[in-house]
């Protein structure tokens, strides 16, 4: 038994890790040389380089990441928060969109050498203050979210949606909301629909605010009545109820309000429905049918959703995908560029969406 085995006490002490000095000593070299050999830097003779490497391997040497970070001055750690704190405590990730955005962001970041630290929405300053974060990604902050300000105040760059545009140290990546909404409404129009209704969350998230605005603008441009039902809270239940309100046409129901509510049912029934609130497509479809509509016969249906169940229903539901993977990639690309090329100038990137047309929104001939 060579050196390296310690006094095998009954407590099996937490294995004192082998450090660079240990390898150097063992190999009869200096720290410098071993470090250079392992990092492929400096000018070393191939023989020495190999010897250092071999020894390190044999001794099971693994560099101390923290020491490296300290030396390097950055930890290659990124904080990741999903906005809309207050009410929904840690139930984030529940929507397919955030789930995929989160997964993709983590994967992309890691590939670029950055690790993602999950910061549940509503995390207190004190909880992340002890983390060596190079930057923080804040997805869909609410208008009243403290997080963006707190992070910026701490001198940490923020990457978020377009709502932070122009702020010092803040950068953004966002979807082209206007184009997205227009693509759906144009599609409805192409299919002959004339009385589309929008169901959108009544939130301060930029995305929802912009959807509302884009819809209003499009309606004005096309001389159509603006029909909107706003959903008070997230969750399948409220959204389904909002859909029912939209189809009933009346401005009643709890928590929801309908703007420009037209006359009763009958002649003025909606003929197309755009559900922007995250909801399960099968449930939406079921609700629509409960109200006596045939899809797509009486009503064209499009959901903004990443939910894979949209392809499994009968008929399959047309979805507008925000392409979370693309957003993640654009965001991390941007982040790496800013972090590694030092610009603190505010800047942004726009990512296009994609409309996956399925049977639910195609008028049969």
DSSP of 107-156, one letter per residue? HHHHHTT-EEEEE-TT--HHHHTTS--SEEEEES--TT-SHHHHHHHTT-
Question: Both tokens of residue 74?
Answer: 């950055």
Site for DNA in 63-122 (CB under 7 A): 63-64, 67-68, 70-73
| Least gap, CB of 77 to DNA (angstroms) | 16
Q: Is the dihedral of CA 146, 152, 154, 159 positive or negative?
A: positive
Site for a second copy in 237-296 (CB under 8 A): 237, 240, 280, 282-283, 286
Of 35 and 123, nearer to DNA (C-beta) is 35
H-assigned helices in the chain: 20-27, 31-39, 46-59, 65-72, 96-111, 125-128, 147-153, 177-190, 206-221, 236-248, 281-290, 324-341
Q: Which does 204 bind (CB under 5 to 8 A by kind): a second copy, DNA, none?
A: none
Question: Which of 254, 208, 257, 255 lies closest to 228 in space, CA to CA?
Answer: 257
- 3 state DSSP class of 225: coil
Beta bridge partners of 172: 160, 348
Of 49 and 215, nearer to DNA (C-beta) is 49
| Least gap, CB of 25 to DNA (angstroms) | 11
Site for a second copy in 311-330 (CB under 8 A): 311-313
| Least gap, CB of 19 to DNA (angstroms) | 3
Site for a second copy in 159-218 (CB under 8 A): none
| Least gap, CB of 305 to a second copy (angstroms) | 12
Site for a second copy in 26-55 (CB under 8 A): none
CB-CB contact of 91 with 122 (8 Å): no
Q: Examine residue 148 and say whether the peptide bond preceding it is cis (omega within 30 degrees of 0).
A: no
Q: Please, which contacts does 219-225 make with residues 24 or more away whose CB atoms are closer than 8 Å?
A: 222/185, 222/189, 224/194, 224/195, 224/196, 225/195, 225/260, 225/262
Of 30 and 349, nearer to DNA (C-beta) is 30
Exactly one of 6, 57, 58, 62 binds a second copy (CB under 8 A); which one? 62
Question: Both tokens of residue 140?
Answer: 């869909």
Site for DNA in 28-47 (CB under 7 A): 28-33, 35-36, 38-39, 41-45, 47
As to burial, measured by CB atoms within 10 angstroms (0-12 exposed, 13-18 middle, 19+ buried), residue 239 is buried
- Which listed range, 36-44, 107-115, 173-181, 315-323, lies at the site for a second copy (CB under 8 A)? 107-115
Q: Which does 315 bind (CB under 5 to 8 A by kind): a second copy, DNA, none?
A: none
Exactly one of 34, 44, 85, 104 binds a second copy (CB under 8 A); which one? 104
Of 3 and 10, nearer to DNA (C-beta) is 3
Of 202 and 307, nearer to a second copy (C-beta) is 307
| Least gap, CB of 332 to DNA (angstroms) | 24
DSSP of 4-37, one letter per residue? T-----TT--------HHHHHHHHT--HHHHHHH
Of 227 and 241, nearer to a second copy (C-beta) is 241
Q: Which does 125 bind (CB under 5 to 8 A by kind): a second copy, DNA, none?
A: none
Query: Tokens 């950068």 — which residue?
Result: 171
Largest Cα separation within the chain, whole Å, is 91
Site for a second copy in 118-157 (CB under 8 A): 118-120, 123, 127-132, 154-155
Q: Which does 33 bind (CB under 5 to 8 A by kind): a second copy, DNA, none?
A: DNA
| Least gap, CB of 37 to DNA (angstroms) | 8
The number of beta carbons lying within 10 Å of the beta carbon of residue 344 is 11
Binding site for DNA (CB under 7 A): 17, 19-21, 28-33, 35-36, 38-39, 41-45, 47-49, 61, 63-64, 67-68, 70-73
Binding site for a second copy (CB under 8 A): 12, 14-15, 17, 60, 62-70, 75-77, 80, 89-94, 96, 99-100, 102-104, 106-107, 110-111, 113, 115-120, 123, 127-132, 154-155, 235-237, 240, 280, 282-283, 286, 308-309, 311-313, 342, 344
């Amino acid at each position: 038994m060579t050196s390296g085995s310690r006094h095998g006490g009954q407590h099996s002490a937490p294995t004192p890790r082998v450090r660079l000095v240990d390898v150097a000593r063992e190999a009869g070299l200096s720290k410098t040389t071993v470090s250079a050999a392992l990092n492929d830097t400096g000018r070393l003779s191939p023989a020495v380089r190999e010897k250092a490497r071999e020894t390190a391997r044999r001794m099971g040497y693994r560099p101390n990441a923290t020491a490296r970070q300290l030396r390097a001055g950055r930890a290659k750690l990124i904080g990741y928060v999903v906005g809309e704190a207050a009410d929904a405590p840690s139930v984030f990730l529940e929507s397919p969109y955030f789930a995929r955005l989160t997964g993709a962001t983590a994967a992309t970041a890691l590939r670029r050498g950055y690790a993602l630290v999950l910061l549940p929405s509503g995390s207190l300053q004190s909880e992340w203050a002890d983390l060596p974060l190079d930057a923080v990604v804040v997805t869909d902050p609410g208008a009243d979210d403290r997080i963006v300000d707190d992070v910026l105040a701490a001198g940490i760059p923020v990457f978020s949606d377009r709502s932070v545009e122009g702020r010092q140290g803040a950068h953004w990546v966002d979807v082209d909301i206007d184009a997205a909404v227009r693509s759906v409404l144009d599609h409805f129009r192409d299919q002959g629909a004339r009385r589309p209704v929008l169901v959108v969350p009544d939130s301060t998230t930029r995305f929802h605010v912009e959807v509302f605005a884009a819809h209003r603008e499009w309606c004005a441009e096309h001389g159509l009545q603006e029909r909107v039902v706003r959903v008070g809270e997230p969750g399948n239940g409220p959204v389904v109820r909002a859909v029912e309100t939209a189809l009933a046409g009346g401005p009643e129901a709890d928590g929801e309000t309908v703007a420009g509510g037209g006359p009763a049912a009958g002649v003025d029934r909606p003929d197309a429905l755009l559900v922007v609130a995250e909801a399960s497509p099968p449930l939406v479809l079921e609700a629509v049918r409960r109200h006596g509509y045939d899809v797509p016969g009486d009503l064209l249906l499009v959901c903004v959703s990443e939910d894979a169940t949209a392809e499994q229903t009968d008929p399959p539901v047309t979805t507008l995908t925000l392409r979370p993977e693309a957003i993640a990639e654009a965001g991390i690309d941007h982040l790496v560029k800013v972090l590694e090329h030092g610009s603190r100038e505010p800047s942004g990137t726009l990512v296009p969406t994609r409309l996956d047309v399925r049977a639910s929104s195609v008028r049969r001939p």
